[in-house]
Structure formats: C-alpha cells, structure tokens
A = this chain, B = another copy of it.
Amino acid sequence: MTPMSHANPETPGWVVSVRLEPPSLQNNAADADRLGLALQHQLRAACIHMDLSLVAQLPPLFRQANYHVRCVLFRDQDAWVLVHVAPQKQPEILAGLAVDLGTTRVVLRLVDLEKRIILAETAFDNPQVEIGPDILVRIHHADQPGGLAALQQKIVHGINTHVAELCRTCGLNTRRLHLISVAGNTAMSHLLAGIPVHWMIREPYIPAANRFGLIPADHIGLLAAPNARVWIFPGVGSYFGGDLVAGIIHTRMHRSREPVLLVDVGTNAEVVLGNREWLMACAGAAGPALEGGVTRMGTTAGPGVVDRVRIDPHSAAFEIHTIDDLPPRGICGSGIIDLAAQMFLAGMIDIRGKFRPERFPKRFTTENGMHHVTVVPAEQAANGQALCVSQADMDSLVRSKAAMYTILETITGSMGLTLEEIKRFLVAGTFGAFIDPGAAVTIGMLPDLPLACFQPVGNTSLAGATLALFSRDAVAEAAAVRDGITYMELNVNQDFMNRFSAAKFIPHTDKRRFPSVVAPVSPTA
C-alpha cells in the first residue's frame, strides 16, 4: 500500500473550528445565521444547510461554549450540510463510519473525524445472503411485495448490530457518529438506500440513481447522531458502482501522469484504466463469457485455506501453504491459480487446461466420470476429507482467466495502448492480497509484465470510504472522477468474443505475449 496515502494532514477535513463574534446590538445576526455566515466565509460556500433540530440546539450551545465551536460538515456537489456542532473545549469524539458494502462481506471502520485516525474495524457476512447469495437473486427478490424493504432491513440491521458492538469496544455511543460513507456496487448501494433495482438488470440497464446525495441516516434507519448524514459513493452505472470510484480515489490513479490499470475482483471482475487525463472502465459481468464469475471457484480466503501450491515437476510432490499455517480446509481462488500454474509447468495440464493423468496418475482420481486432482490427501486435511480440484473447476478457471485477460486487452486496446505499456498494475481486494502475480502470468490471466509492476492495493473500497471521511478534496474528486469515467459495455464489443477464444489457452495462443513463461517440462512425457 506504500504509494497510496491516507488523508494528507494538509488536506482540509470535515471538522471545522469556528470562533464567532459574540452578538451585540451592533451585530445582532440570529444564531443560526451567525454560524452559517461564518462557515460560508471560512469554507467559501454559497450556503450551508442545517436541520431545524440542529438550529434548535444552537442558542444555548453558543452561550455555553462562549461562541467557540467545532462543526462537522459535509459537502455533496454544491450543497454543504452542517451535521453537528460541539463546544470547542469539550472532549467529545466526533466519529464517523466507513462502510465497504460488499455483496458477500461488509467491513465497517470507525474513525475519529477530527484527528483523522482509525479507531476500530470489524467485518461480517452480508445478511442478505440469507435471501440470495448472488446479487441477481436479490434483485429478483426485490420485485416481490415487501422484498425490497426486507433486503434493506437486513443490511441495515446487520450494520446497526455490528456498529453498535464496534462503538462499544471504543467506549462510544452510536449517537457520536456524524458521518457515514459507503462504498458499494450499484445494486448494494440501491438495496441499502431502499430504492428500486428492477430496471438495473434489464436493457438498457438503468439504475434508479447514480448519485445519492446526502441522506439523513434516519431515513435509512442507520444508528447514528440525530442529524447524521450518509454519503454513498456515486456510481457510473448498473455495472460500475461507487466501490470502484472509491478505489480510484484511494489509489490516486486519477492523478497519475502514466496510465495505471486497476483490477478489482470481487463478485465481478472490474477494471479501470486511466491517468490524470482520462479514465476508462469496464466490468466482467457485462461480458457473457464471465458467466459463472471469476471467484466462484474455491473457498473464501481465510485461516486454513490453501493459498500457495508448489509442485516438484519431477516427483509431482505437492508443497502447500495455508493461511495462518493451519491444517488445510479448503482452497481459495489464488490457491487454484497457483495450482493451475504449477500443474501447467509440471506438464500436468495441457494448454487447454485439461488434466493429463498420465503424467502422475497417483495425484488423480475419477468420480462420476470426471477427473479430479488431489491437492491435499484426506489424512492431511483439517476435516479428514481430501481437498480436490475437478476438471470442471479447472475449465471454469480457464474461462475466467481468459475473460480477465480479454478484458485487460480490450480496455487497453480501446485506448490505443498495449498491455506492455502499462507500468503500474494495481490488484485490489483479497484477490490482490493473496494472488501470486507470477502464477497469474504463467496461466495467462495477467499480462507478462515485470512482476514489480503488480501491486496489491488491499480493500480499496474501504480505504476510499475512509478517505471520504478524512478529506474534503477526496469527495470533490470522487464526483469529478465519476463524471469523467467512460464506461465501455463489453457485451456490445464485437472483438471481445474473438479475443476471448484466443485467450482460452495457457498462457495464450500467441506465445510471444508471454516470453517469461517457460515451456512446461516434457509436455508429452
């Protein structure tokens, strides 16, 4: 995460200290107007909105605080909203909540808006999974009577439960939460806001909103201070949500002189290419080839999950690594990529990804007529069941890697660039955290760039959501980034299917693109 900084202390944040001139017969502006005008002047804002219930607090508060106060504000487009006022000399923490609103997993981060530090963090499975593991199922569920409300209620209840616990660990009341920033995909953002998703998945794929404005937390039902606001990162369209805008903001690729590629593999594979002058984006779900998804394979990365595999090409001895070095209980996506790369280099799969049981027959089994490769024998596995990967899993990986490579090729090609011209290749999410770029290059999922080009950038949604709470500039830039992104619809792209077919070989039909991938050991042995 080295080159991506969090809030620069020089950048203005959302907490502003104001010393007001006390009223007199000569200066008899009303309390709310006095503060509003001072803030307008200090922030160069055209007008400052404040809720009536906040106005009602000002007269006694000003006199108690001797007209020296701290204000929590937020700005969305041209609208500034004052959400809280506290005496300057009161040691009350002004807190905020950053939310990475994932389809399967939700991460909450509690922050101090004034000191701009992270206080605590927690994560939980999206409770909407009970209704549907997959976003499409949830979108269909929303069409049923009460369905949308039920989905909203589940996620709101989930966040409320976990934020209450998170606050408790920090000795805070949830009424200290003044700002909540949310980075999620377009469907999840809609489901949190409780707005219809019906037309999102029907041509021409129109969301209800791409910009959500500043939402009073109580309109959604989120636990927070009485005048707290929720800001949902704006999205670009049904298949390009605020989570990616948050990622762009966090990685600062929109300020880079050289073109940068950002790949986020969550439920979909989403790719942004750009620099400080332009931003081009596309998402895997838009391509029919990605049906089945990149990350459908394997177990979610976690303790005891196989994330690394080494195969001795001569003995076929498997050396595995698990997260936290616990007994193996599953294989995650990056483990399968590693496995595929190592099997390819050991000649155990051919260039189409088909198993070659003749190479080391002892590693293979057949079940219902389908070949499986044994990664961990039963006696070494955590639950006494052998960990296997089937030919179907491998076929799925090949389709996924082909889709990923094709997306990368298509997006760079659309800008007149080749993949070799990309000097910074950012890989977000758990995929980025665990993947071995070398293995991904070997199977032709990622382009054959020097390995130093690949940088894991972690949970960019969460980092972007945090940044929105720390930096006014970040929020302004998010709006500008959103407006400046060109979204490329892959399913209307004619070349895509041809390129996809060529990429369904390991590493590729055109081997010159992967000079670093050495030919597998005795492919015909």
Contact = CB atoms under 8 A, between A and B. Distances in A.
Nearest to A47: B77
Interface string A43-61: 0001101111101101110
Interface in A345-385: none
Nearest to A34: B206
A278 interface: no
Interface in A449-498: 489, 492
A196 B60 contact: yes
A206 B52 contact: no
A59 B206 contact: yes
A212 interface: yes
B59 A199 contact: yes
A50 B212 CA distance: 9
A28 B194 contact: no
Contacts of A212: 52, 55
A219 B52 CA distance: 8
A163 B204 CA distance: 44
A277 interface: no
Nearest to A35: B209
A203 B53 contact: no
A275 to B, nearest CB: 25
A78 interface: yes
A345 B90 CA distance: 69
Interface string A172-212: 00000000000000000000011110110001111111111
A78 B196 contact: no
Nearest to A58: B208
**Residue among A49, A194, A206, A489 facing the most chain B CB atoms (10 A cut-off):** A206
Contact of A30 (B33, B194, B206, B213): B206
A119 interface: no
A29 interface: yes
A421 to B, nearest CB: 29
Given A36-B211, A78-B78, A205 B28 contact: yes
**Residue among A52, A77, A210 facing the most chain B CB atoms (10 A cut-off):** A52
B208 A50 contact: no
A518 interface: no
Contact of A52 (B215, B238, B492): B215
B206 A23 contact: yes
Interface in A123-163: none
Contacts of A204: 23-25, 28
A32 interface: yes
A209 B31 contact: yes
Given A31-B207, A207-B30, A79 B194 contact: no
A237 interface: yes
Contact of A77 (B46, B198, B199): B46
A63 B77 CA distance: 28
Given A47-B79, A489-B25, A196 B32 contact: no
Nearest to A195: B56
A452 to B, nearest CB: 38
Contact of A32 (B24, B198, B209): B209
A51 B55 CA distance: 20
Interface in A313-352: none
A208 B78 contact: no
Contacts of A196: 56, 59-60
B489 A30 contact: no
A200 to B, nearest CB: 9
Interface in A2-44: 23-25, 28-33, 36
A184 B520 CA distance: 86
A46 B50 CA distance: 19
A31 to B, nearest CB: 5
Contacts of A28: 204-206, 237-238
Nearest to A206: B23
A221 to B, nearest CB: 11
A235 B30 CA distance: 10
6 contacts: A51-B219, A52-B193, A52-B212, A53-B219, A55-B209, A63-B199
Q: Which 5 residue pairs of A and B lie closest in terms of their CB atoms, listed nearest first? A: A32-B209, A30-B210, A47-B77, A30-B207, A46-B78
